[in-house]
Amino acid sequence: MSNPERITIFDTTLRDGEQSPGCSMNLEEKIRFARQLERLGVDVIEAGFPIASDGDFEAVSAIAAECKNITVAGLTRTVEIDIRRAWDALKHAAKPRIHTFVATSDIHLQYKLKKSREEVLKMTQEAVELASSFCDDVEFSAEDATRSDVDFLCKILSVAIEAGAKTLNIPDTVGYTTPGEIYDLFKTIKERVVQDKDVVISAHCHNDLGLAVANSLSAISAGARQVECTINGIGERAGNAALEEIVMAMNVRADRINCKTNIIAPLLYPTSQMLSEIIGFDVQPNKAIVGRNAFAHEAGIHQHGVLSNPLCYEIMTPESVGVPSNSIVLGKHSGRHALTQRYNELGFELSRQELDATYQSFTELADKKKNIYDQDLISILPSAVRGTEVFIKNAEPTQWFTA
């Protein structure tokens, strides 16, 4: 296999992610999280939409001043006032990027922009040329690209390149496309537009059909070398492609995805936790990579396998993404191996007969009670075992969730 190609990770948690209802952040929180993204190893932080509000302008400006080892981007429409405002916010950045966009699908042109294709082509040329006069790093996005006419899409992307764009972003703005379709689209753009030019193609996928990560990976396989994503997959409507899922898919399946990133994987979970704490939104328990149950096992067969060798049911270690360890969750589906391990941790060694009796009591309790605590496990022990005091030095008020 050839050397893996580098994928630029463009994090838009602070822009697209913050647009998710209830996920707004104040200036201090944005700066704190931007520092964490820089530690995590992302390549580009999209810090905000400077024209949108004074708060967004201040956030982009502050992050541009704070984060010197990373590219800081500000979003603009293809409008002169937006671009000038963005540059005012970004001009102190060590690595500034102006990211300008315009819709390219006929439905957006007709009902939102109320402009013709020719007008939008002219707007694109003028906007990218103006942005390029301020900085060398300009990204152009064709909003709703996956529902756009392919010939027109290729034409407007060519105009953007000629005007100075170094990155072409192809957003699946409404989460409409499928992995096969987006693969074909990116192949077409690479062959008809980019060819051998020094231009990066980028993917920005939304999750309305639950396909954002799959579509992002398919775009990468077709030639995308930048992927736009958010921590925990937050974003408008159903969210964006989740950064942690994309990164770990490349790490775990390096045999099929011959690409790499600069992301420091053990910082994924702490970064996820920080975001949840800042915005007050926990990820769902079964969320891949960073969810509470991502490395939890309740089924008895699974527990036995994990206790014997974690590779039986875990394709990555918890520690590889910053989770302290896997969790054996005691519930009605648990088996004797997991129950024995927890009793051993509490300081009890049960004979086979004692374990059989205790296991029967445990399953009856688990059928009735959603949350099982260490105190519950101690209370169902045979009286002769329960009378010992060896457990006191090891017992902790741990709760074992069954749901």
Give residue 202's pLDDT: 98
How far apart, in whole angstroms, are the C-alpha atoms of residue 303 and residue 250?
A: 27
Tell whether the torsion through CA atoms of 33, 34, 39 and 40 is positive or negative. positive
**pLDDT tens for each residue of 166-208:** 999 999 999 999 999 999 999 999 999 999 999 999 999 999 9
Determine what percent of the chain is predicted with pLDDT higher than 90.
66
Tokens of 93: 């950045």
If phi over 0 gives left and psi between -120 and 50 gives alpha, with beta otherwise, what is residue 312?
Answer: alpha
Q: Which of 378, 376, 373 is nearest to 391 (CA)?
A: 378
Residue 313 phi/psi, 5-degree rounding, is -135, 5
Report the range of poorest mean pLDDT among 100-104, 145-149, 314-318. Answer: 314-318
How far apart, in whole angstroms, are the C-alpha atoms of residue 11 and residue 9?
A: 6
How far apart, in whole angstroms, are the C-alpha atoms of residue 288 and residue 58?
A: 34
pTM comes to 0.81
Decide if 6 contacts 259 (C-beta within 8 A): yes
Contacts 24+ apart (CB under 8 A), 17-20: 17/230, 17/231, 17/234, 17/235, 17/239, 17/240, 18/48, 19/235, 19/236, 20/234, 20/235, 20/236, 20/239
Q: What is the DSSP string of 224-288?
A: --EEEEBGGG--STT-B-BHHHHHHHHHHTTTT--EE----GGGHHHHHHHHHHHHT-PPPTT-T
How far apart, in whole angstroms, are the C-alpha atoms of residue 37 and residue 44?
A: 9
Domain ranges of the chain: 5-279, 296-401
**pLDDT tens for each residue of 345-387:** 666 778 888 888 888 888 887 787 766 766 677 777 875 454 4
How many Cβ atoms are within 10 Å of 1's Cβ, its own excluded? 6
Q: Which amino acid is at 167?
A: T
Tokens of 386: 């329960």
Report the range of poorest mean pLDDT among 1-10, 93-102, 106-115, 153-162. Answer: 1-10
Q: What is the DSSP string of 319-342?
A: GGGT-S--EE--STT--HHHHHHH
Range 5-279 has CATH code 3.20.20.70: yes
Give residue 366's pLDDT: 79
Q: Using CA atoms in the order 306, 308, 312, 314, what is the torsion angle rounded to 10 degrees?
A: 40
Give residue 309's pLDDT: 58
Summary mean pLDDT of the chain: 87
Give residue 282's pLDDT: 87
Mean pLDDT of 19-23: 81
In this predicted structure, the answer to whether residue 396 has a pLDDT above a threshold of 50 is no
**pLDDT tens for each residue of 240-268:** 999 999 999 999 999 999 999 999 999 99
